[in-house]
């Protein structure tokens, strides 16, 4: 097994456990939907696929940095059931038998769920989170729980405080493009599990960008759902008024299929999706004030979208700028209120920069917090009136490339600056209550983000499918 600086190279035993077609190892980096169709056709055995993923995780040099723990017995039992349904022609959907990783803040019955925080060490829930239960009912195979930023309060994915082993950063997964850089957070292990071929698809959460940032940093597709569209019951909270659940995957199709499963709905039809005649609104200055590589990736995306027939318009929103200024009050105050007692009882168990970020909400007055929310609700109305004539608001997903791990560990100012910049653009979607999708641009570790109003995931996914096709043309 070896890692490259651009793509993962996975070497596994040359066994074909299905007995037909591609070697099982070759399926590890195919899309979840491709795997599901192959299961339905009889080309893949779900048990063999699951065993191969588990073997890959255990043998991968960074496997323990990506996964907090495996749920091997559960995965194999679920794969056996999927095999039986496939043989009997009673599959529950395209993802029946497909292996999935889960961020370590989704409760799993009788298995530790610790949000990669020493504050929650030994926490073992008695039931699955609602979304995990839905995925299981649809035939998903739960591989295990992935590492994350501590309590989900960072966009970087750096976690030196959790886990065991010889590695000095046991809960900091690698970046697919640069082994010296962070993977992005807080769904860091979720992104790495898919990028390195250690899960077909991953489930993460997004409060300020925690699905979209690591997806962009690792050349994946990531879906931020509308607040409340998917259940948060059984999900360790950060800011309940902003927390959302979403998939990280290799394709828009995968995100659409996973979203449908978790929402208990029919998957949106992506056929014949087109950008022709679509009006896309570039949000300034968030599209301009970015570093060179993200700017190059975004320029490539705009060129591809225009070539596919989209009309590109640029706009600056005073409502959005005003909303962004409210961020320190809205996010930090709720996060600190949620975790204050546990944090202050054991502050030494936390990574200093994250502890400091939580404590940034300690002195916010209740009256200021309520006033900020009242103002934000009015600004959301203004923003959506401004953008109503467009099919999507677009911007670079992240303004920077993945920061250097070693420097983050010793340079406090660098940590604060890079974390804020990592989350700056994605936070637009959370503040405005939008659903959002990030797509890889073709420039490594950069993404283009599309935003639509709350509740319009199906329309967003069709736009995303068309944008994906344009970028791949």
Active site residues: 103, 186, 210
The burial of 254, by beta-carbon neighbours within 10 Å (0-12 exposed, 13-18 middle, 19 or more buried), is given as buried
Q: Please state, as a whole number, how many other Cβ atoms lie within 10 Å of the Cβ of residue 402.
A: 26
Structure tokens at 451: 């935003």
The token duo for 182 is 């962070």
Spatial CA neighbour of 455 closest among 263, 225, 248? 225
Q: What is the C-alpha separation between 29 and 39, in angstroms, rounded?
A: 15
Here the tokens at position 159 are: 């976690």
What angle in degrees, to the nearest 10, is found between the helix axes of 72-87 and 46-59?
Answer: 160
Return the closest-CA partner of residue 202 out of 49, 66, 111, 107.
66
If you write DSSP's letter for every residue of 121-163 in order, what string do you get?
TT---SS--HHHHHHHHTT-EEEEEE--SGGG--SS----SS-
Residues linked to residue 283 through DSSP beta bridges, in sequence order: 315
């Amino acid at each position: 097994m070896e890692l490259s600086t651009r793509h993962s190279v996975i070497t596994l035993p040359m066994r074909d456990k299905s007995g037909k077609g591609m070697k099982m190892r070759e399926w590890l980096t195919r899309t979840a939907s491709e795997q599901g169709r192959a299961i339905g056709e009889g080309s893949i055995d779900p048990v063999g696929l699951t065993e191969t993923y588990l073997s890959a995780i255990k043998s991968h040099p960074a496997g323990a940095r990506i996964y907090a723990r495996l749920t091997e017995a559960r995965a194999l039992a679920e794969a056996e059931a999927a095999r039986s349904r496939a043989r009997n022609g009673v599959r529950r959907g395209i993802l029946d038998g497909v292996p999935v990783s889960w961020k370590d803040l989704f409760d799993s019955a009788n298995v530790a769920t610790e949000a990669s925080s020493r504050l929650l060490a030994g926490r073992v829930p008695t039931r699955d989170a609602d979304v995990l239960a839905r995925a299981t009912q649809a035939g998903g195979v739960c591989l295990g729980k992935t590492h994350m930023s501590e309590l989900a309060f960072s966009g970087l994915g750096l976690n030196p405080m959790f886990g065991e082993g010889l590695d000095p950063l046991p809960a900091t997964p690698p970046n697919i493009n640069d082994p010296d850089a962070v993977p992005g957070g807080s769904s860091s292990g979720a992104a790495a599990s898919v990028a390195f071929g250690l899960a077909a698809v991953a489930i993460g959460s997004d409060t300020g960008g925690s699905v979209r940032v690591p997806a962009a940093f690792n050349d994946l597709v990531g879906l931020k759902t509308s607040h409340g569209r998917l259940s948060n019951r059984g999900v360790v909270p950060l800011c309940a008024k902003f927390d959302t659940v979403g998939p990280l995957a290799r394709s828009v199709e995968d995100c659409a299929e996973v979203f449908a499963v978790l929402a208990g709905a029919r998957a949106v039809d992506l056929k014949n999706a087109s950008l022709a005649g679509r009006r896309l609104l570039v949000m300034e200055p968030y599209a301009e004030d970015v570093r060179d590589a993200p700017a190059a990736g975004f320029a490539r995306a705009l060129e591809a979208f225009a070539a596919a027939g989209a009309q590109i318009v640029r706009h600056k929103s005073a409502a959005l700028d005003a909303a962004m200024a409210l961020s320190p009050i809205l996010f930090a105050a709720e996060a600190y209120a949620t975790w204050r007692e546990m944090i202050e009882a054991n502050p030494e168990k936390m990574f200093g920069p994250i502890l400091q970020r939580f404590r940034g909400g300690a002195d916010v007055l209740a009256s200021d917090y309520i006033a900020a929310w009242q103002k934000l609700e009015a600004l959301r109305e203004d923003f959506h009136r401004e953008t109503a004539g467009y099919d999507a608001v677009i911007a670079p997903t992240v303004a920077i490339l993945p920061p250097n791990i070693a420097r983050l560990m010793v340079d406090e100012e660098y940590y604060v600056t890079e974390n804020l910049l990592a989350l700056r653009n994605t936070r637009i979607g959370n503040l405005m209550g939008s659903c959002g999708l990030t797509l890889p641009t073709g420039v490594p570790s950069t993404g283009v983000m599309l935003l639509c109003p709350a509740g319009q995931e199906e329309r967003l996914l069709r736009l995303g499918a068309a944008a994906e096709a344009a970028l791949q043309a």
